[in-house]
């Protein structure tokens, strides 16, 4: 079995594969202060929770945007399963033709999601990942990764609003009944949900204009399922796009 780990700024997402079948996914909090031994205990417990023993893990692949946590999780898996995980980074074959200015700067998470999209969808393709940051990656008609855009994520925007204003409260992130809010909480929800949806629609319009053709649009991560409901464009939701990309990249390197 293959253990795939996507380490983001807020959460760590684990996926266990038996060949191509995804058996389960689970989430841990990304904790900069946690040791590899603590992560090993958490991973072992999660495996047991889903009826799997750590001895059945034959290999692992890790994608991390938090280097220290990536190292801790890699060491945890090594200790727990007696294997050396493949860490996605420069030198690892992804199957992507990367055309950004400096390919070494491409985030591991963006590479994994793009690899998953290249395998699954018709090109050209726009890949949206809504996590701590909202990232947009663009694959052209030949599947080459051209680049994209990065914006603050919805939760990060809410945090900035509540921490940097004296009268805006913490709220649940959910769509209000209408765009024109009639109380503070609904006004904030409108800005967060409908503002994010309008931003995505705007990105798609401008990217398709630059490409000169329509593109497949796929979204993953965080709040994307809620946000894309309010977009005017047809956007496919794929919760496990990044994990599937990691599995594909692992197969290319083994």
H/E run at residue 159: helix 154-163
pLDDT computed for residue 136 by the predictor: 98
pLDDT tier at 227, thresholds 50, 70, 90 = very high
Quick: pLDDT tens for 53-72.
Answer: 889 999 999 999 999 999 99
User: Nearest to residue 118, comparing CAs of 92, 138, 136?
Assistant: 138
- Report the C-alpha gap between 138 and 214 in whole angstroms: 12
Handedness of CA 213, 214, 216, 221 (dihedral sign): positive
Res 30 pLDDT > 90: yes
Nearest-angstrom CA–CA distance, 9 and 235: 25
If you average pLDDT over every residue of the chain, what do you get?
Answer: 96
| Token pair 């809010």 in the structure block, residue | 181
Q: Is the pLDDT of residue 90 over 90?
A: no
Cis, peptide link before residue 124, omega less than 30° from 0: yes
Q: Mean per-residue pLDDT for 8-31? A: 95
Residue 59 CB: number of other CB atoms within 10 A?
17
Q: What values do phi and psi take at 121, rounded to 5?
A: -125, 165
Are the CB atoms for 11 and 69 separated by under 8 Å? no
What order do you get walking across the sheet with 236-237 strand by strand?
A: 145-152, 133-139, 125-130, 216-220, 236-237
Element at 227 (helix H, strand E) = helix 224-228
Residue 21 CB neighbour total at 10 angstroms? 8
Active-site hit among 18, 37, 109, 129: 109
**Quick one: pLDDT at residue 230?**
97
Max CA pair span of the chain: 58
CA distance 9 to 24: 21
Instruction: Say which DSSP state 113 is in.
Output: H
**Could you report the per-residue pLDDT of 180-210, keeping only the tens digit for each?**
999 999 999 999 999 999 999 999 999 999 9
* pLDDT at 222 exceeding the cut of 90: no
pTM over 0.75? The answer is yes
Catalytic annotation present for 129: no
Pairing of strands 21-29, 59-64: unpaired
Which domains does the chain possess?
2-87 (3.30.420.40), 103-246 (3.30.420.40)
């Amino acid at each position: 079995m293959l253990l795939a780990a996507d380490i983001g700024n807020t959460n760590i997402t684990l996926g266990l594969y038996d060949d191509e079948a995804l058996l389960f996914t689970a989430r841990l909090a990304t904790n900069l202060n946690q040791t590899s031994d603590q992560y090993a205990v958490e991973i072992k417990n999660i495996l047991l929770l889903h009826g799997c023993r750590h001895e059945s893990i034959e290999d692992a692949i890790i994608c991390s945007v938090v280097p220290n946590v990536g190292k801790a999780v890699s060491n945890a898996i090594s200790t727990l399963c007696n294997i050396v995980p493949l860490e996605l980074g420069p030198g690892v074959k992804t199957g992507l033709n990367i055309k950004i200015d400096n390919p070494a700067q491409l985030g591991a998470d963006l590479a994994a999601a793009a690899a998953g999209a290249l395998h699954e969808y018709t090109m050209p393709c726009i890949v949206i990942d809504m996590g701590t940051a909202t990232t947009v990656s663009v694959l052209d008609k030949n599947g080459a990764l051209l680049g994209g855009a990065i914006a603050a994520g919805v939760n990060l925007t809410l945090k900035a609003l509540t921490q940097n204003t004296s009268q805006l409260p913490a709220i649940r992130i959910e769509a209000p009944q209408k765009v024109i809010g009639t109380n503070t909480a609904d006004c904030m929800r409108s800005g967060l949900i409908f503002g994010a949806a309008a931003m995505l629609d705007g990105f798609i319009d401008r990217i398709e204009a630059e490409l000169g053709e329509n593109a497949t649009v796929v979204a993953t991560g965080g709040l994307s399922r809620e946000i894309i409901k309010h977009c005017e464009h047809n956007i496919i939701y794929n919760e496990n796009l990044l994990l599937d990309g990691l599995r594909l990249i692992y197969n290319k390197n083994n």
